Amino acid sequence: MQTHSSHPIRVLCSRISEQLEQSVTVQGWVHAIRNLGRLAFVHVRDRSGIVQCVLEGELAEMTLSLESVVSVTGLAVEASKAPGGLEIRASAIQCISAAAAPLPFEINKKTIGARLDTMLDNRVLSLRHPKVHATFHIQAALAGAFRDYLTERDFTQIFTPKIVASGTEGGSNLFPVDYFGRPAYLAQSPQFYKQMMVGAGYERVFEIAPVYRAEEHNTSRHLNEYVSLDVEMGFIRSEEELMDLEQDMLGYMLRKAGAECEAEFALLGVELPVPHDIPRIPVAEAQSILQRKYGKTSPKGDLDPEGERLICRYAAEQNKPAFVFITRYPREIRPMYAMPAPEDAALTASFDLIFNGLEITTGGQRIHDYDELTASIRGRGLLPEHFESYLDLFRYGMPPHGGFAIGLERLTSRLLGQPNVREASAFPRDRMRLTP
């Protein structure tokens, strides 16, 4: 690469220690300023870290606002009192892009002293706070580890359409799209398409893509658009294999993200859980435990949010990790494609995974027999004609199969102990929020 005198090569803050006693140029955002008149200390932040720049004489007189983008050239020297043990004695400073002052909130304190809504309204600023910033490095690492784990095991990444002609579960909670004057919807999940790709001979597939739920909820647990980490696998013997896979995969993802984002987890003070020997508790048994231990009554065949929190507390009391698989949900609360349990056709070979008190996964084995599936659709009061292009899949040879999906934002927010899932979405979409 050429060096242009007018365009000095930029050095990242994290690499300055390799160039001590040399002239270097750093470029980044003004994180903090301490002005003592003829002497000023300016902290410059780039994607790798923060460095202290010392401005003397005329340079110290420059008017600078926090969060402006600057280019500072100077001698890199050791400085025991400076953060990181080094600083730059500036010989030149240039303001590339001045920031308006004052900022809507301070981002160089330990935490942002603003409400979540204000942080989301000023998302580009709040994302610059090191602790908020760390969230999305960790999220990217989790998604990358998901891909690596599955690719290594012969899973093929797929890309399926999000504009669909009908819903996967009968038509509720769908966002309507005007598709050249024809009615269409945003996909609630890639469910049908990932099953089709299994049946198309890929056998093992995964997808990392947005899904849409037009739910009117406005809670700390719901997003109307979120990233779904989807897995589907053919030639399984039962849903137990899927839980084996998810447990092992989560262990890999946490170890990998932990290694890649060691500094981020340390900054956030998060200790990574180890998902081994996750209990697998039939929902009826979980309900009994909740009733017996906590006097908690659950809705029919399911756990409510309070029940999800309590069953994780129960697991913690047994010295188990903060994960619990709940299994054997009744057919009436699972989708029409859920495989009946072998021992009781009123139950399903399905599961949820609860992590730190919140459901982060729904999964299970699917019905692969054409006649059984059409009967199940009819049993819901739905019309097989409405599922024609999906049902075609079962006409031409379909192996036993199943899968699951992990909500990426829920996984991230539970891992980081964030009370609101919106904190784990760079630009959340909820009942009220469409911008930024």
Angle at 218 between CA 216 and CA 219, to 5 degrees: 130
Question: CA 178, CA 338: separation in Å to the nearest integer?
Answer: 31
Question: CA 36, CA 85: separation in Å to the nearest integer?
Answer: 21
Q: Which residue has the tokens 């199943």?
A: 402
Q: How far apart are the first and last CA of the chain?
A: 37
Which of 90, 93, 94 minimizes the C-alpha distance to 23?
90
> Which CB sits closer to a second copy, 298 or 413?
413
Choose the binding region for a second copy from 263-271, 290-298, 375-383, 391-399 (rule: CB under 8 A): 391-399
**Residue 203 binds to a second copy (criterion: CB under 8 A):** yes
Angle between helices 240-260 and 130-152 (to 10 degrees): 130
Residues of span 176-195 touching a second copy by CB under 8 A: 176-180, 182, 184, 186, 192-193
**Residue 200 binds to a second copy (criterion: CB under 8 A):** yes
Residues of span 351-370 touching a second copy by CB under 8 A: 368-369
Residues of span 403-422 touching a second copy by CB under 8 A: 408
Q: Which of 32, 33, 69, 284 binds a second copy (CB under 8 A)?
A: 69
Distances (CA, A) of 206 to 151, 231, 393, 404: 9, 4, 18, 10
**Residue 237 binds to a second copy (criterion: CB under 8 A):** yes
Question: CA 365, CA 232: separation in Å to the nearest integer?
Answer: 9
The H or E element containing residue 280 is strand 280-282
Q: Which residues are annotated as a binding site?
A: 169, 213-215, 221-223, 359, 362, 366, 407-410
**Residue 39 binds to a second copy (criterion: CB under 8 A):** no
Residues of span 217-236 touching a second copy by CB under 8 A: 224-225, 227, 235
Q: Which residue has the tokens 């992990």?
A: 406
**Residue 94 binds to a second copy (criterion: CB under 8 A):** no
| Residue 145 phi, psi (nearest 5) | -70, -35
Residues of span 239-268 touching a second copy by CB under 8 A: none
> Which CB sits closer to a second copy, 154 or 344?
154
**Residue 333 binds to a second copy (criterion: CB under 8 A):** no
User: Shortest approach of a second copy to residue 283 CB, angstroms?
Assistant: 26
Q: Which of 13, 40, 44, 46 binds a second copy (CB under 8 A)?
A: 46
**Residue 125 binds to a second copy (criterion: CB under 8 A):** yes
Q: Are 206 and 143 in contact (CB under 8 A)?
A: no
Question: CA 45, CA 344: separation in Å to the nearest integer?
Answer: 60
Q: Which residues are annotated as a binding site for L-aspartate?
A: 169, 213, 362, 366
Residues of span 143-172 touching a second copy by CB under 8 A: 143-144, 147, 151, 154, 156-165
